[in-house]
Amino acid sequence: MKRVHIVSICGVAMSALAKILKDRGYQVTGSDEDVHPPVTDLLAEYGVPYVVGHRAENLGDPLPDLVVVGNHAAADNPEVLAARQQGLPILSLPQMLHELLADYDPVVVTGTHGKTSTCSLLAWMLTQAGQDPSFMVGGIPRNLGVNTRLGSGRLFLLEGDEYLSAKFDPTPKFLYYRPRIGVVLNVALDHINFFRDQEEYIRAFERFAAIVPTDGLLLAGIDSPNVARVAAAAQSPVETFGFAAGADWQAVNLRLEPERAVFDVWRSGRPHRSDVVIGQPGRYVVLSALVALALAERLGLDPAVVEDSLAHFQGARRRLELRGEVAGVTVVEDFAHHPTQARTSLETAAVRFPGRRLWCVYDLHTFSSRNRRYLPEYAQAFGQAYGVVLPAMHHPEQIPAEQRLSLPELTEAIRATQPNVAYIPDRPQIVPYLAERVQPGDVVLFMSSGGLEDLIEGLLQAL
């Protein structure tokens, strides 16, 4: 095999795979319709060419030896159809990784929320500890500057997404990843277009827990109610972590500061470490730190190096990332696609910017985020905000009308806890709406799992 063509290459994970394949000596090409930074910048840095749009001729001449297809590619994608007509081998990204991971000891981080921040921390810690890990993160760790790297060590760290592998392969991605060490951060129903209900969703995580080998380890976030059931399916040893009493790795005496969190650790019910510092604000990154401490003990890492890594952790891009400050107004970008994430991001922002008014622009970008099932959760998600702005949905026709959230209805539901909420379907009007209302000292938080770059840059320019 010499050349691999990647369909939907501009996903963060797909761009990481492109880099890994190139580093292993393959010629890599790709295509996508949804192209935007920072992934396009990464592909340029990696020297991986891609074309915008999907056409059969993108396969090239001569044809590639293998086609890898992302789960955003439609079943009637012209490149996929052409590859089938030509008899080319076709794999999903997880199937490709299944082959690559045979040479490593994978550390797979799963959960509905927090995977990217946790993976970013672990990749940074393992690198600082001299493990030279391979990693593939669904974002860009600020400490490392890249979302993937092939190292010389045995460890391969990656996010385990529960979503389907591809339109032609409904297997949850993380079941392909050969976990030697598995992490389950939390389990709260997501991907409603793929899972029928919460029961089916939990079963997917149970299947993941069951494939961790008996000589491996499962780290389970016991604060999440569904995780105890998931952990019970494990054949491997299990260690729990969280704030809850009885966790094997328990954070106590938590002190939240604008730019860091400080806490003590109890191990199996007894004091273990004092004044551990994680260099990011908020309650939820402490759970990532507990995972790091548990993994470090499993691997026998130098405690001083581990604690220094935690203290100097800078987080991941698009996770409460400062985009600019003009006229006393701070503009921040965050990745959010679920009401739980919206709530936790706002809670963390309130810690990061104490006493300041928080404006939130929330984009319902994913299929699941637009489902009316989440209406009660959304109604309670924005209590920390001073003001909320809802743009129009992208391609609302993708979700059936009977399942789709009505944005006027959502606006009224949010108004119960946050009276200052506006649905602005005319996108160009969002920037002047904000620019006329924000005051020095305010923080504007743009939340989207897609891209709000035009609004972010527009507001900075308007200010």
Break the chain into its structural domains and give their ranges: 3-88, 96-311, 321-462
Question: Alpha-carbon distance 421 to 443, whole Å?
Answer: 16
Instruction: Going residue by residue through the chain, which has 463 residues, state the pLDDT in tens, using 9 for 90 and above.
Output: 899 999 999 988 899 999 999 999 999 999 999 787 778 888 999 899 999 999 999 999 999 999 999 888 888 999 999 999 999 999 999 999 999 999 999 999 999 989 999 999 999 999 999 999 999 998 889 999 988 999 999 999 999 999 888 888 889 999 999 999 999 999 987 777 778 888 999 999 999 999 999 999 999 999 999 999 999 999 999 999 999 999 999 999 999 999 999 999 999 999 999 999 999 999 999 999 999 999 999 999 999 999 999 999 999 988 889 999 999 999 999 988 788 888 999 999 999 999 999 999 999 877 777 778 888 888 899 999 999 999 988 777 777 788 888 889 989 999 988 889 999 999 999 999 999 999 999 999 999 877 788 999 999 999 9
Scanning the structure block, which residue is given the tokens 């548990």? Answer: 294
Question: Alpha-carbon distance 62 to 154, whole Å?
Answer: 36
Nearest by Cα to 459 from 322, 330, 353: 330
Write down the pLDDT at residue 144: 95
Q: Does domain 96-311 have CATH number 3.20.20.70?
A: no
The tokens describing 398, both together, are 């993708």
Question: Alpha-carbon distance 282 to 7, whole Å?
Answer: 37
Write down the pLDDT at residue 421: 95
Task: Assess contact for 101 and 269: CB atoms under 8 A.
Answer: no
Sequence length of the chain is 463
Sheet holding 148-149, edge to edge: 148-149, 134-136, 155-160, 105-110, 181-184, 217-221, 238-242, 249-257, 260-267, 270-278
CATH topology of domain 3-88: Rossmann fold (3.40.50)
Write down the pLDDT at residue 347: 94
Q: Which of the listed CATH numbers 2.60.40.10, 1.20.1050.10, 3.40.50.2300, 3.90.190.20 matches domain 321-462?
A: 3.90.190.20
Write down the pLDDT at residue 442: 97
What are 39's strand-pairing partners? none
Question: Alpha-carbon distance 275 to 262, whole Å?
Answer: 6
The tokens describing 448, both together, are 């989207």
**For residue 104, which phi and psi values (nearest 5 degrees)?**
-130, 175
Write down the pLDDT at residue 405: 85
pTM of the shown model: 0.90
The tokens describing 381, both together, are 């998600």
Question: Alpha-carbon distance 147 to 5, whole Å?
Answer: 20
Q: What is the 3-state secondary structure (H, E, C) of the chain?
A: CCEEEEECCCCHHHHHHHHHHHHCCCEEEEEECCCCCCHHHHHHHHCCCEEECCCHHHHCCCCCCEEEECCCCCCCCHHHHHHHHCCCCEEEHHHHHHHHHHHCEEEEEECCCCHHHHHHHHHHHHHHCCCCCEEECCCCECCCCCCEECCCCCEEEEEECCCEEECCEEEEHHHHCCCCEEEECCCCCCCCCCCCCHHHHHHHHHHHHHHCCCCCEEEEECCCCCHHHHHHCCCCCEEEEECCCCCCEEEEEEEEECCEEEEEEEECCEEEEEEEEECCCCCCHHHHHHHHHHHHHHHCCCHHHHHHHHHCCCCECCCCEEEEEECCEEEEEECCCCHHHHHHHHHHHHHHCCCCCEEEEECCCCCHHHEHHHHHHHHCCCCCCCEEEEECCCCHHHCCCCCECCHHHHHHHHHCCCCCEEEECCHHHHHHHHHHHCCCCCEEEEECCCCCHHHHHHHHHHC
